[in-house]
Structure 1
């Protein structure tokens, strides 16, 4: 019974996968230079297994979020885009997968704050001015 409580506590101490990935990306964006799994792990300071960090980085590479270059017997990783570019890409993929794009855009725009709506208007005018 005590072992089970200890296992449950260990599970509860773990971050959700999405948060861990976000933290890994934050480390790489902050570094501004390619990092190995060992280096990322050291900066995070969570004592994750080397294989866990290597798996996370490999999966992000396979998704196209990171690029990698040979480094010693392994690889060094760096983000393909900054945080804003990553979110914009995710938004674009979501929109592209929806057959009723007009409805999605309408709902998105109607949920914006006044400041965000004004920013979007300004950006649309800039894009329109750049293409004409």
Structure 2
């Protein structure tokens, strides 16, 4: 009986050490995605949406706490892939500068840059996954 208890305690301790040594995948995965996304943002998005995500009045919308950033991921992915020519109202202001499509970016790059935007500038939202981008990209417009 004592051997069984000792074995159980040893096994439990070993399992605890293994689990404690492995960082949570979700936190690690999203952090890496945000880091990659920041690089894409700085190269592609920053000229229009600015370093602080504030955009340009009446031209390029802000990325701060808006339904476009925090809301429907499919719509957001579609905007990045296909661009946008609509005049849109965001937080009581209208923005009308055309956004070029960025379908030259890979699914991973789009997922990363959107994850960055959804988790920067005071935003906190779920990550965008490459498979979600792939799904939107494969649909006919």
TM band (smaller chain): under 0.3
Q: If each structure's helix is expressed as a fraction of its own residues, which one has the higher value?
A: 1
User: Which structure shows the bigger proportion of residues in strand conformation?
Assistant: 1
TM-score by length of 2: 0.27
User: Please, what TM-score do these two structures have when normalized by structure 1?
Assistant: 0.28
Higher relative contact order (CA 8 A, sep 6+): 2
Larger radius of gyration: 2
